[in-house]
């Protein structure tokens, strides 16, 4: 057997060894997703608002992604959504087969957390957000709160999930800087648990997005039968659905407190954010972003959401990135005010 013949065999074997990798790299986006599932990790428990939005969106997103991959939804609640964020950034494959629907407070929490977190919002590949979120202070009518003014001299028991979740941070901020009298009861496992607590009389109210009240939420029947009412809106822009409820900013006169409130509320503009880990191939990232916006603006999706929740207000991945950059430009004074609100030991 000649040296020339052996060299030819060796070259052939080397070609076979590298061929699979080369083929994988040469795959089009459509070919890749035709042969791979896409996992969507949701940073909240099943049955809540985030889970609802994710599962309503998935069939439409699948239709618009080249290759139409099966999308597997997996819930990973914990640490106010940070468990899913850390999982995505540190453990998810970097090939475009796993993305996450995060919680909006994940956009700022690593910036103000006393504990180092393995998640950097500025480095994430944001795909888009399904809607802008408007939060409200919703109180059971049995509590005897006739207007937002009563919140400043009447104790109201508010349910919350975890210390850093916005459903605790927002009333805590109002207590500290505006003088409201919320008694915040933390530790409920999710939306369903807080609904049950409202029914049992354990709590008087909770922070609720508008969509929970007029669409899919457990409290929507309460609003319909008059057992719950919106007394205050906590958003940069108020909802037209509750024109008689004043806005948080109506009670703020100090520019420094206004800056604080705008920082905490900024993530609401990206109310249901989707992200991919850093390092996925650029063509797959571009395809996922485009498919996200195509699905979010699909007339069938819009009609569906108008039936079950509210008219979607999606924004692009680039717009989410701009919101993150704005958050990270906050002054030291604002950050110092926020840290005690989100860190138990601060």
Q: Name the domain boundary from 266, 296, 329.
A: 266
Same domain, 160 and 282: no
Q: How many domains is the chain built from?
A: 2
- Sheet with 71-75, side-by-side order of all strands: 71-75, 38-42, 98-101, 273-276, 125-129, 315-316
Give the β-pairing of 273-276 and 125-129.
antiparallel
Domain end: 226, 243, 266, which one? Answer: 266
Backbone angles phi, psi at 333, to 5 degrees: -60, -45
How far apart, in whole angstroms, are the C-alpha atoms of residue 173 and residue 39?
36
Q: Are residues 148 and 117 in the same domain?
A: no
Residues in CB range of 268: below 8 A, 6 or more apart: 104, 132, 133, 134, 135, 235, 236
Residue ranges in 126-280 assigned as alpha helix (H): 166-177, 191-200, 210-214, 220-225, 255-265
* Structural domain contains residue 321: yes
What pLDDT does residue 189 have? 85
Distance CA 148, CA 244 (A): 10
What CATH number is associated with residue 66?
3.40.190.150
Same domain, yes or no, for 155 and 249?
A: yes
The closest of 317, 304, 318 to 59, measured between CA atoms, is 304
What per-residue confidence (pLDDT) applies to 26?
A: 78
- Residue span of the structural domain in which 176 resides: 135-266
Q: Are residues 128 and 276 in the same domain?
A: yes
The pLDDT value given to residue 346: 62
**DSSP type of residue 246:** P
pLDDT digits (tens, 9 = 90+) for 226-273: 999 999 999 999 999 999 999 999 999 999 999 999 999 999 999 999
How many other CB atoms are there within 10 angstroms of residue 225's CB atom?
Answer: 8
Kindly list the strands in the beta sheet with 228-234, ordered across the sheet, starting from the edge strand earlier in the chain: 182-186, 156-160, 205-209, 135-140, 228-234
Distance CA 39, CA 71 (A): 6
Rounded to 10 deg, the angle between the 332-342 and 166-177 helix axes is 120
Task: Supply the pLDDT for residue 45.
Answer: 86
Q: How many CB atoms lie within 10 A of CB 3?
A: 7
| CA–CA distance, 344 with 284 (Å, rounded to integer) | 40
Asked whether residue 208 falls in the same domain as residue 278, the answer is no
**Are 91 and 164 members of one domain?**
no
DSSP-derived secondary structure for 237-264: S--TT-TTSPBGGGG---HHHHHHHHHH
Closest CA to 273 of 116, 109, 114, 34: 109
Phi then psi for residue 291, to 5 deg, are -65, -35
- Report pLDDT for 25: 56
Task: Tell me, yes or no, whether 27 lies in a domain.
Answer: no
Give a yes or no: residue 7 inside a domain: no
Q: Answer yes or no: do 80 and 115 share one domain.
A: yes
In a domain, 252, yes or no: yes
* 11 is a domain residue: no
Please indicate, yes or no, whether residues 157 and 250 belong to a single structural domain of this protein: yes
Both 260 and 154 in a single domain? Answer: yes
Clarify whether residues 148 and 184 are in a common domain. yes
Residue ending a domain, among 224, 241, 266, is 266
Cα–Cα distance for residue pair 324/301, rounded to 1 Å:
27
Query: 233, 245 in Cβ contact below 8 A?
Result: yes
| Residue ranges in the chain modelled with pLDDT below 50 | 1-24
Bridge pairing between strands 205-209 and 135-140: antiparallel
Rounded to whole angstroms, how far apart are CA atoms 341 and 328?
17
Cα–Cα distances in Å, from 91 out to 85, 106, 257, 300? 10, 17, 38, 34
């Amino acid at each position: 057997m000649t040296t020339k013949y052996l060299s030819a065999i060796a070259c052939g074997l080397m070609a076979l060894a590298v061929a699979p990798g080369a083929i994988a790299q040469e795959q089009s986006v459509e070919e890749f997703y035709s042969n791979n599932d896409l996992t969507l990790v949701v940073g909240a428990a099943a049955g809540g608002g985030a889970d609802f939005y994710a599962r309503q969106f998935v069939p439409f997103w699948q239709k618009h992604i080249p290759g139409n991959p099966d999308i597997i939804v997996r819930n990973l609640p914990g640490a106010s959504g940070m468990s899913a964020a850390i999982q995505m950034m540190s453990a998810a494959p970097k090939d475009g087969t796993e993305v996450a629907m995060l919680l909006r407070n994940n956009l700022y929490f690593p910036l103000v957390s006393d504990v180092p977190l393995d998640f950097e919002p500025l480095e994430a590949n944001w795909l888009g957000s399904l809607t802008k979120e408007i939060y409200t202070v919703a109180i059971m009518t049995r509590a005897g709160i006739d207007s937002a003014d009563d919140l400043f001299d009447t104790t109201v028991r508010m349910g919350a999930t975890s210390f850093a979740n916005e459903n605790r941070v927002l009333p805590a901020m109002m207590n500290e800087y505006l003088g409201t009298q919320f008694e915040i009861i933390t530790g409920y496992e999710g939306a369903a648990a807080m609904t049950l607590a409202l029914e049992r009389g354990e709590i008087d109210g909770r922070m609720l997005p508008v969509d929970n009240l007029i669409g899919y939420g457990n409290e929507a029947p309460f609003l319909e039968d008059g057992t719950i009412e919106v007394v205050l809106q906590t958003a940069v822009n108020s909802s037209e659905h509750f024109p008689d409820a004043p806005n948080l900013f109506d009670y703020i006169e100090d520019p420094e407190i206004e800056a604080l409130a705008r920082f905490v509320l900024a993530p609401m503009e990206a109310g249901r954010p989707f992200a991919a880990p850093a390092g996925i191939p650029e063509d797959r990232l571009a395809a996922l972003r485009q498919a996200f916006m195509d699905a979010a603006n699909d007339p069938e999706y819009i009609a569906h959401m108008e039936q079950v929740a509210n008219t979607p207000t999606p924004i692009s991945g680039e717009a989410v990135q701009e919101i993150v950059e704005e958050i990270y430009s906050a002054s030291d004074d604002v950050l110092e005010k926020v840290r005690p609100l989100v860190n138990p030991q601060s």
